[in-house]
Structure 1
Amino acid sequence: MAQIREWHKQVNDERFVITTKRDLLDLDFIQNAFARDDMYWAKPLSHQDITLMLDSSQTLGVYQISPAVSAAASASEPSSPRTPSPTLEQEPQETYRQIGMARFITDHVTTAYLTDVFMDPDHRHLGLGIWLIACCKEIMESMTAFRRAYLMASPGAGAEFYAKTLGFWDVHEEHEKCIAMTRRGFKF
């Protein structure tokens, strides 16, 4: 299994993290993303199928970090932050809300297929999608015997974006050496 990786970024006053930690993935977020028209290639899956899919993939989740919230001050205490009581068993935890993702089907050494790239519409135009793709590029470049990466992109802006950010090209440019072949599933 690949090592866990994390990247942090602040945009204005908001903090974000991209991580490969599988246990942070929000299945409801992913199912809702799969149900969206802009993820036309995906459909929601059974809990068993989505779990198997994610367990068999390298995932990058994008999360908005909410700060830890201390216990509310009493009326006799100031409302400003206070030093935790020594009797407090556990410090308040930051919360992570998933807002995006990308998924690799990969052997972690030679080959990677990038799919299911998605950013919540409320968080688009903050540069988070470009950051996510930069993290994907870093993962591909860290593969020790990297041969090839693949993806399916929409013609036009989608293809141009991946060409510019990841150096991908249309496989037709290699028509004398290889062709891309596919078979659609029968459930759609």
Structure 2
Amino acid sequence: MEKNDCRYMAFRTEDMYWAKPLPRDQLTTLLANSTTFGLYRVLPDAPAAKSADSPSSPRSPSPTLGNQPTDELEQIGIARVITDRVTTAYLTDVYILPDYRTYGLGKWLIQCCNEYVTNLPAMRRAFLVTTPGVGKDFYTRELGFWDVREEQERLVCMTRRFFKMD
């Protein structure tokens, strides 16, 4: 992994306690088969905008990441949507670094994911797996998700856990 390849750093942080670092080729495949939303901090901090009509943009445009060169970005958050891009979506790997959790970025990131998912052409079901004490209330409030047990007469959620250890 290259020193400044921020696309892969999220999966190496302890804040993603449910994920373990993967080899670069596996991470590349994982990201290529997902719709991934990233949050980045521009380094060094960009100067404040002069006005709402005149935003700050001190760097030259980059063909890969909009206005910012990749070597001047620090990844501070991520969310992935695994989807067939028509009917089904699975939201996973949502995280924001602790220092950035009080700015509303998590809500904004989830709003972006929600906008993407609700615009799929024939969406039937979006789902996620989360921690009961932390994530459940957040995703209920922000996305309108509910516990699958509330549909126990019509739906059973099944799982099998795999851990491949070397």
Normalised by the length of structure 1, the TM-score is 0.68
Question: Cα–Cα, structure 1 residues 171 and 92, in superposed 2: closer, same or farther, change >3 Å?
Answer: closer
CA distance in 2: counterparts of 1:26 and 1:132, whole angstroms: 17
> Does residue 100 of structure 2 align to residue 123 of structure 1?
yes
1:124 Cα deviation from its structure 2 partner: 1.3
Could you tell me which of 119, 122, 132 is aligned with 1:145? 122
After superposition, the C-alpha distances for 1:57-115 in whole angstroms (9 at most, x for unaligned) are: 100011123449xxxxxxxxxxxxxxxxxxxxx94864432210000110111110000
Matches within 5 A, 1:51-62: 51-62=28-39
The answer for the alignment partner of 2:140 in structure 1 is 163
Could you tell me which of 85, 92, 96 is aligned with 2:73? 96
Could you tell me which of 33, 40, 44 is aligned with 2:17? 40
Question: Cα–Cα, structure 1 residues 91 and 53, in superposed 2: closer, same or farther, change >3 Å?
Answer: closer
Identical counterparts, % of pairs? 49
The answer for the alignment partner of 2:9 in structure 1 is 29
Give the 3-state SS of the residue equivalent to 1:150 in structure 2: strand
Cα RMSD of the aligned pairs, angstroms, is 2.3
Moved over 6 A (4+): none
Aligned length, in residue pairs: 141
Largest Rg, 1 or 2: 1
1:121 Cα deviation from its structure 2 partner: 1.4
CA distance in 2: counterparts of 1:151 and 1:135, whole angstroms: 16
Normalised by the length of structure 2, the TM-score is 0.77
CA distance in 1: counterparts of 2:149 and 2:61, whole angstroms: 54
CA distance in 2: counterparts of 1:52 and 1:91, whole angstroms: 30
The answer for the alignment partner of 2:51 in structure 1 is none
1:180 Cα deviation from its structure 2 partner: 0.6
Unpaired runs of 5+ in structure 1? 1-24, 69-89
The answer for the alignment partner of 1:82 in structure 2 is none
Unpaired runs of 5+ in structure 2? 48-58, 63-67
